[in-house]
Amino acid sequence: EADIYQTPRYLVIGTGKKITLECSQTMGHDKMYWYQQDPGMELHLIHYSYGVNSTEKGDLSSESTVSRIRTEHFPLTLESARPSHTSQYLCASSATDRGPMFFGPGTRLTVL
Amino acid sequence: DAKTTQPPSMDCAEGRAANLPCNHSTISGNEYVYWYRQIHSQGPQYIIHGLKNNETNEMASLIITEDRKSSTLILPHATLRDTAVYYCIATVGGGSNYKLTFGKGTLLTVNP
C-alpha cells in the first residue's frame, strides 16, 4: 500500500489569500506529480518533478508554483487564490519511470 | 502518447467478469499500456500495465492483441466496489518522458 499524504483534505478560502497544499510521501520516490481535476472532468497534469531541485510545468497551464527541496515533500502554492482555482488537486509519486504511479487522496479547494 | 479510445460507459452484473476494451491503434513500439481506476473522485488507483505480453495480477488481467492496437482489461469477478471510472493510457516509459495523460475513461457500473 502506498504512503502518500495530502493536507488539507478540504480547504475553503477567500479570494486573494495565499495557500500552500502539502504533499508528502514516505516511499523515497524520486518522481512526483500534481494533477488538477474539476468535478466530473478529466485529470490534467499541472506540475511534475524528477528529483530534488527539479520541477517542470505540466500539460495544463497553471498559476500555481511548486518546489522540491526534499525528496519526500512536493508542496504546491497559489500566491493569490481566485474562484477559478476551485478544483480538486491530486498529488502522485512513482519510484520508476515505467511503474505504478501512486496517488494521494486529494485536496478539494474552494475559493470564494 | 498514443491516443486511446474507450467506451464512455459499461454495465456488468455482480460476480460476472467485466471486460473493458481500449483501442490504441497508433501505439508505437516502445509505448506501454497502463490501466488505472478512480472511485468517486478519490485519487486514481493503479491496476496493471504491459508492453506486449498478457499480464495478470491480483486485481485484473490485461490482454493485449498481437498487433498491439487494442487491449482488454478483465476483472474476473466484479463486485459492487469495482464501480469506478477506468482509464486506459498508452505512454512511453523512461526518464523525463514518464508522465500519464488521463482521458475520459469508461464508467463501469457493477449492478447487484
> In this predicted structure, what is the pLDDT of residue B95?
59
Under the banding of pLDDT at 50, 70 and 90, the label for residue B96 is: low
Under the banding of pLDDT at 50, 70 and 90, the label for residue A2 is: low
For B21-69, how does the pLDDT look when each residue is reduced to its tens digit (9 = 90+)? 999 998 988 889 999 999 987 999 999 999 998 999 999 999 999 999 9
Contacts of A44 in chain B (CB under 8 A): 102
Please state, rounded to an integer, the average pLDDT across all residues of chain A.
93
Q: What is the mean pLDDT of residues B5-31?
A: 94
For A5-21, how does the pLDDT look when each residue is reduced to its tens digit (9 = 90+)? 999 999 999 999 999 99
Contacts of A92 in chain B (CB under 8 A): 43-44
Is the pLDDT at A4 greater than 70? The verdict is yes
Is B48 or B97 the better-scoring residue by pLDDT? B48
> In this predicted structure, what is the pLDDT of residue B99?
83
Q: What is the mean pLDDT of residues A70-97?
A: 94
Question: Distances from the Cα of A51 to the Cαs of A28, A104, B22, B29, B92, in angstroms?
Answer: 10, 18, 32, 28, 19
* High-pLDDT (> 70) share of chain B, %: 96
Burial A70-91 (b: 16+ CB within 10 A, else e): ebbebbbebeebeeebbbbbbb
The CA distance from B86 to A41, in Å, is 13
The residue among A103, A43, A100, A34 whose CA lies nearest residue A67 is A34
The shortest C-alpha distance from B43 to chain A (Å) reads 5
- DSSP string of B16-29, one letter each residue: S-EEEEEE-TT--T
